[in-house]
Amino acid sequence: MERQGASNTRTAEARFTPSGEVSVAVLAPPAARTEPLIEPRVDEAALSFALGRERVLGRLDHSAAVRRLRRALSIGMFIWVGAGCLDLFVAEFAHEARLMTLLQFRALGTLVMIGALLRLRRKPEPSPLSLWSLDILVYTSIAVCVSLNTTSYRGLDSPYSAGILCVLLCRGATSLAPWQQGAWLSAPPALAYPLTMLAVSRVDARIAAQMHDPAALGGFVSMLFMIFISWALVVLGGHFAWKLRREAVQSRNIGRYELERRLGSGGMGDVWAAFDRTLRQRVALKTVYGHRPGSSLLVRLEREVRALAELTHPNTVRVFDYGATEDGLWYYAMELLEGENLRQLVTRVGPLPLERLLHLVGQVLRALGEAHDKGIIHRDIKPENVFVARLGGEEDVIKLLDFGIAKTTSIADSTLTNTGQIAGTPAYMAPETIVGAPADVRSEIYSFGVLLYYTASGRLPFPQKEPASLFAAVVTQVPPPLTSVAGRPVPRALERIVERCMAKNPAERYGSTRELLEALRPLTREPDAGQPDAGQPAAPPG
């Protein structure tokens, strides 16, 4: 857009500080001009992403700082307590200090570390201000205790004074922060030694006399110089480490996707929250690593994702893009969802009420129905792959996830299949697939039956942990009746449906998701609803 005359628009300049905060400065309007001006356009999506990215990086930095301090204190406490052997040696053999006095100061430092550790292990994590306070309290307290030990053993000439350098070294090992923050966090423990010695010299005649002894004073000044050098190295080293870590996080890009944070990890790869620079939207990016471009696995995955991208049912997670990098990282992008998976929901609230259960599983069946109609067998139906999302202002919107090991029967290629491998999660696998039969619609019905059993009762039909005993139970044993493990009344019709879904003989199970939906329909509050179509977004049961 072009316009004439003076501009009355104030402009704003945003700066990112090293700590991740944003400062905005309002500038005066420019002088009047007569030539055409091009009105600048603010890329709101890019700005929003930049701000959000800085917040994410700030949270990552804070969580990492909590973990580093917790680990440092866990290790440092054993070293600090173990150094009590030095106190014993000094008291028993040097005869220049009282053991009880040395141990009192060491006990004080130990109590401070224990208190800090207890807070760091509690949820929620301490805020940044609380974390900085704990950091200063712990390291300064230890530095003061070391300084007090020096006053008990030889004063300004005490070898204990070298302990201050150890405290600063430990502080530097756990400090990844911009230099401004690192400087004032490291200053209190660095100043603890000279301030403690000066304070004690006011009340201790021996320390006061050493302050006037050239030899002792020279050693004291030399130690102050070493403390200052150590403080500077700690601050600069922490700043450079923080900067390198931040750059490493910011540079984690895969193609057009900028990685923000890891959402989860699995045996084949990771799932990331990422920003698509082309579509200007956040996505979930699933990666599969460890395979060269052109390998049989990547060829098969590419074919399957190409087929999955054709799935249009609203209860199937949308796939936007896929590809592979030169170093063997294969990925695909899908919609980023807000909510929790079905296992998390059942763990949080317990077995679901019948009406809500039917509403959720009906959506799962319709999504599966469309996939089956296109010749796609999911092969890993389980609560973790059923996401209960909040979408478009609606609650309890199901999204079927993770077709990563799906079998696409319409494009199957025997040369791309590794024989002898079992695909799926053992607790949800059908007996015939465990013994080597290929997965099909009826084995998918079995997995859905286990999911239904778990959602209604909060327990698995076969809870064995050891794989061999679990496989044996699935193949040979009959699961306990749903009513006996649910801990509440369960409709007999639902129990019969679960039993038929989990029949050992595939021929005795339901033949399709449509047939199973029809069996569930009498349990709903709307038995006269229209017949559902597995490939259409019909109204869910309930």
Task: Identify whether 126 is preceded by a cis peptide bond (ω within 30 of 0).
Answer: no
Place of tokens 């942990």: 465
Q: Are 517 and 359 in contact (CB under 8 A)?
A: no
- 483: Cα separation from own chain's centroid: 37
Secondary structure of residue 394 in the 3-state scheme: strand
In single-letter form, the type of residue at position 417 comes to T
Would you give the end-to-end CA distance of the chain in angstroms? 53
Place of tokens 């060269």: 292
Task: Provide DSSP, 28-48.
Answer: PPPPP--S-EEPP---HHHHH
Integer Cα distance of 307 and 156 in angstroms: 77
Integer Cα distance of 166 and 142 in angstroms: 10
The values of phi and psi at residue 284, to 5°, are: -100, 125
Tokens of 278: 């082309």
Q: How many CB atoms lie within 10 A of CB 43?
A: 11
Secondary structure of residue 388 in the 3-state scheme: strand
Q: Are 528 and 534 in contact (CB under 8 A)?
A: no
Looking at 351-463, which runs of residues are DSSP E strands? Answer: 376-377, 386-391, 394-400, 407-408
Specify whether 157 is catalytic: no
Helix (H) / strand (E) containing 323: strand 319-324
> Which residue in the list 213, 380, 413, 528 is annotated as catalytic?
380
Burial class (CB in 10 A: 0-12, 13-18, 19+), 391: middle
Measured between alpha carbons, how far is residue 93 from residues 124, 159, 210, 289, 516 in Å?
Answer: 48, 15, 23, 60, 84
**Residues taking part in catalysis:** 380
